[in-house]
Amino acid sequence: MLEIKREISIMKLVRHPYVVRLHEVLASRTKIYIILEFITGGELFDKIVSHGRLSEAESRRYFQQLIDGVDFCHSKGVYHRDLKPENLLLDSQGNIKISDFGLSAFPEQGVSLLRTTCGTPNYVAPEVLSHKGYNGAPADVWSCGVILYVLLAGYLPFDELDLTTLYSKIEKAQFSCPPSFPVGAKSLIHTMLDPNPERRITIEQIRNDEWFQKEYVPVSLIEYEDVNLDDVNAAFDNDEDQRTNQQCENDDMGPLTLNAFDMIILSQGLNLATLFDRGQDSMKYETRFISQKPPKVILSSMEVVAQSMGFKTHIRNYKMRIESISTNKASYFSVILEVFEIAPTFFMVDIQKAAGDAGEYLKFYKNFSSNLEDIMWKPPHETSKLRNSKTKGQ
């Protein structure tokens, strides 16, 4: 619910002619009603699909409006992080309306780098994929560059079925512009799709670009609006009170939820099968398993097994540290385990060696996991194999 409140607050904050307007938030005892601007022209994506590439003049007009809207969001400290034609609506006059702020960031003052890997892969900047922190403004500029390419070409500059190949091309900015591209637009796209965010063109520089300036009509902000979030706060007050009471009764709010990007980054070589693989090669320093048991049951089971093996355990929220009782530094061994939610009924336990020998870790995990078979989830084909082997043994 906090994420919904954040998105609604952001939409009230960014009141601009090229952003979908949120008029009001109302609440009953059981429902929250959001009154949005009525947009009748559908998605820009649908127009591109039905018409193919757009003319230079039309592409430039949409792009100018997009930059105006994004620039205003940035001036309010808001970074969209999921800009794509599907999230650009068209009103009855054919003007762009930026929508869907569900992944947007509104960092606190003093926070310069964002950490969450999110967005749509084909439109995401390379630094977002690096998982090392990134600045929201250059990341949005990259997405705008991809959108301009799509408007003029009718297809994506980076489009591969294999994620490894796709991400490699994005990181190196491997793309080419068709001969039909206007020279000015081609030059602008290359400066926007610079893989180095430090060198990437800024929105201010885009505004001064000769190709961008042609037939540009700056948007007029008729009035200064003092944005009031009272209705948003009132609508969510009851929910926050209830959540605060729950938090007093229980300090934790559940395990962290992994999104698709988190799972890809955790996997080896973008092969998601390694999330479920308990082979020896993947267990030298870290491994993981899936369970359908409740998180507290998973933690309790692991604690019992670890203690029965002679280890000390420390639990905080949904993290557990397992360490040897010995004070001898040479034989000291410790492991960090964390429970993540990957679906409403599926949880992943990520296990990593914190200290000690890799061989010791492998020996530990084999012993540890053999005592956790009851909580480990196995694919149906493995379950049937196990059942068949037991039957044959009988």
Q: Which of 191, 192, 231, 188 is nearest to 209 (CA)?
A: 188
Q: What residue type is 266 in one-letter code?
A: L
- Active site residues per annotation: 82
The tokens describing 153, both together, are 């070409």
Q: Going by C-beta distance under 8 Å and a sequence separation of 6 or more, which residues neighbour residue 271?
A: none
How far apart are the C-alpha atoms of 70 and 64, rounded to whole Å?
10
Distance CA 144, CA 157 (A): 12
